Structure 1
Amino acid sequence: MKLRENRSFVRFWIASTTSSFGTYITTLALQVLVVGNLEGSAVDVGWISASRWLPYVLLGLIAGVLVDRFHRKTVLVATDIGRSFILAFICLMSITGVISIGWLMFLLVLFGILSLFNDTAYQSFVPQLVPRPLLTRANARLEQSSAVAETSGPAIGGGLVSLIGAPFALLFDAISYLFSGVLMASIKHQPSEKVKMGPLGQQIKEGLRWVYQHQYLRTLALNTHAWFLFHSMTMTILVSIFLIELGFHASLLGFVLAAGGVGAVAGTSLSPLAGVRLGVGRAMSLSRILYGPAVILMALPLATNSSDSQFIALIFVIAGQLFYGFAMGIEGPLEMGYRQYVTPSHLQGRMNATLRSINRSAVVIGAPLGGIIADGLGFITALWISIFGLTLCGLWFSLSSMRNARIEDD
């Protein structure tokens, strides 16, 4: 059976794509709202980013157990609709002038709680829709749609923010989540067997043991945690450089960030082939080696930036974004497909929640840390620190046993 003949997967794909477009618009709109409307600093940008991921630190492991206990489609529908209402409320508070950094952080924590449960259910739902041999291809299709959204979302977001302002741009994401929730509700599938009720702590430990005692998942998990730390530092520093140091307009920032999506589209298109030709482990190793050089490409012209060379710096930054997005595009479907393939159905929620929660915990640390280092040591020094971390992650991954992982492993 081909993926396009699977009606349930097609509906899931459309719903996911719709909300992805809105998400990239909102990411940009929130950053502009903080810097432009609320006159925030690089540290504020970091804290706002961290607020979205804080629930992953506090509730991540619990979410995995709960998602394994309930029907995953119900979780997806409820959390999509809930996130739609929160974004609409942020818009209302912004246009009435009562929004503040504190209120925004509080609302984004609530948004993050819903996102945590949605992400856990989302990643665990795909194996219920498609056969396991098609998981890599299914994830590649989902990643391609996300990459297209990443390509055009920031550009559309930049245009919307410039045209109608950051608060109203958030409404587009609210509508996208509402549409996604309604479409998810129409999906027909065979529910997986729910996990039997038992001691919460015991079930959490079962998920942790699966991830951190597995021959390859252990290395994949630990390396990915470190990668997310330095990735979040990098993104916070780059956005701060673009908006504060270089004074990029919101529309130009959206154009620059969209370049990463173009690279990701190319990467996801080649991802299944790379997995077959090189093996999952070696293809992912290649991707992780590429992140450091991609950021170096962006950092070199910025280190000598002047008004005369700003156009040249912009070209290098766009090229670096393309390179960075390409690496993420190659890696994403392979990583997700491998995780889903080797994990039993009754552990899918806990496996995904374990990895997702600790990865986002790294973001909670890395995003504000990037802003703090940038404010204390300067943007360029902070960027080189994050480059060193990304390069170290790539070397570690490529020299580990994970490079030998293949989709046939179980």
Structure 2
Amino acid sequence: MAAAQSGSDGSFTRYWVAATISSFGTAVTAVAMPVLVVQVLGASPVEVGIVNAAQFVPYAVLGLLAGVYVDRWRRRRVLVWASVGRGLALGLIPVLWLTGVLEIWSLVVLLLIFGSLAVFGLAASQSLLPQIVPRARLLSANSRLDQTDAAAQTAGPALGGGLVGLLGAPVTIAIDAVSYLVEAALIARLRLTEPARASAADGPPQPRSVRREIGQGLRWTYRHVSLAPLAISTHLWFFANAGALTVLALFALRDLALSPAAYGLLFAVAGITTLVGAAVAPWAGRSIGAGRSIVIARVVYPVAWLLIAATALAGVGGAGALVALFVALALQGFVAGLENPNEMAYRQAVTPDALLGRTNATMRSANRTMAALGALVAGVVVAATGIAPALVGVVVVFIAAGVVAVASPLRHARHDDGDAAA
């Protein structure tokens, strides 16, 4: 692909640095935002739920539309302005707090704006990478990005906790706002030439139609021999994972009475093993193929959560339960690191450039919507039946996601399947 070949090592380095800064900023805000909502603003449980939901709503409402325009517009420009907008939206939070007018509802509005811009920014980011590196290097590039993100998720919460203690939650969020502005400046300086894109992905030129272009993205995603089962399996995975994390928080913090430090350490360990998995991912993709790497991960996820479910069903507590949780999350982290670079690289390699924005946005929109539903359903199931039955339900959905992957042509997919799309 000519455009991808034009991307230099220097351009990828700048892109990687921008992604790294943004990942650490996001990890810091992941700690600061709950503190702001619960402790600074004194939100009720319902208000906390509304704040969390505000981060998912834009994906459900704008996801498909974003894909159309990311395929029409220059993706670098979309990413730059989305980053600037997100930085300004977050930057208004400490400003409103300092002036004494920050309330839950003004925070929700800012998060809706932030989330709307994130829909466009993330679709553009995922679709821009094939213009920066050749398709043959997409796997290693995605692996490097995932390693960095895993490092941010491991070290970021500790950094965020320290900054919140030193500066307070609102000022800490301002640091994340600055990280988005730095990201925008770095992306704006990328040396690449994006190809001109037609208004339609197939057939003779036609007048532009948002509905038709959305339909093209949906058909490509859900009719492709390997992408379709990958999409369906991933949607189920997001539903199960969001539900699992919701139940895990209640199980670990309420039933097992883990300290916040111990609870945070669980995810730090998962971050470390994700880093290891991402390091192994290029070798796995080249040796056994992208599809088999993804399938292996989808088979292991239910095993990890079955260990947690068995712990809850058996009423195991104390050190035994803690060991089970650490082993399960370490296992989940490793296969997540193994899978994600292969999934992203395969999707980028096999999808024509003209459809890449819509494919990425379609997947992300559906995934985030399923995550919101999974978290909501898990909460209702816990309230109705308890922790152990809810964990069993989570395992069943993880198994369903694995069965879809195993029983499909996805298991034969390789990164060089995308050569025809280049």
Q: TM-score, normalised by structure 2?
A: 0.88
User: CA shift at 1:46, angstroms?
Assistant: 4.9
1:95–1:370 CA distance, 2 compared to 1 (3 A): farther
Match of 1:150 among 148, 153, 170: 153
The Cα RMSD (Å) is 2.7
* TM-superposed deviation, 1:385: 1.8
Q: How far apart are residue 61 of structure 1 and its match?
A: 0.8
Superposed CA offset, 1:344-388 (max 9, x none): 111111111111111111122122222333333333432332222
Deviations 1:229-285 (A, max 9, x none): 111111222234445555555444333222211111011111111112211111111
Q: Give the Cα–Cα distance (whole angstroms) in 2 for the partners of residues 369 and 96 of structure 1.
A: 38
Within a 5 Å distance, the mapping from 1:4-403 to structure 2 comes to 6-37=9-40, 46-93=49-96, 98-196=101-199, 198-246=208-256, 248-301=258-311, 309-403=317-411
Deviations 1:178-214 (A, max 9, x none): 2111111111111122333611111111111111111
Conserved 8 A contact 1:45-1:236: no
Determine helix, strand or coil for the equivalent of 1:187: coil
Question: Which structure 1 residue ranges, 5 or more long, are not aligned?
Answer: none
CA distance in 1, matches of 2:393, 2:51: 22
Q: Is the 8 A contact 1:161 1:251 kept in 2?
A: no
Secondary structure of the equivalent of 1:189?
A: coil
Aligned partners of 1:254, 1:165: CA distance in 2, in Å? Answer: 19
Letter in 2 for 1:400: S
SS state at 1:409 partner: helix
Give the Å deviation of 1:310: 3.8
Whether the 8 Å CA contact 1:158–1:255 is kept in 2: the answer is no
Give the conservation status (yes or no) of the 8 Å contact 2:7–2:134. no
Q: Residue 204 of structure 1 aligns to which amino acid in structure 2?
A: I
Is the CA contact 2:239–2:374 (under 8 Å) kept in the aligned structure 1?
yes
Q: Report how many residues are paired.
A: 408
Q: How far apart are the structure 2 equivalents of 1:247 and 1:96?
A: 38
CA contact (8 A) 2:27 2:156 kept: yes
The answer to whether the 8 Å contact 1:264/1:326 transfers is yes
Q: Distance in 2 between matches of 1:41 and 1:330?
A: 39
Contact 2:5 2:132 in 1 (8 A): no
- Partner Cα separation in structure 2 for residue 271 and residue 116 of structure 1: 27
Does the 8 A contact of 1:42 with 1:240 survive in 2? no
Indicate if the aligned counterparts of 2:226 and 2:408 stay in contact, CA closer than 8 A. Answer: no
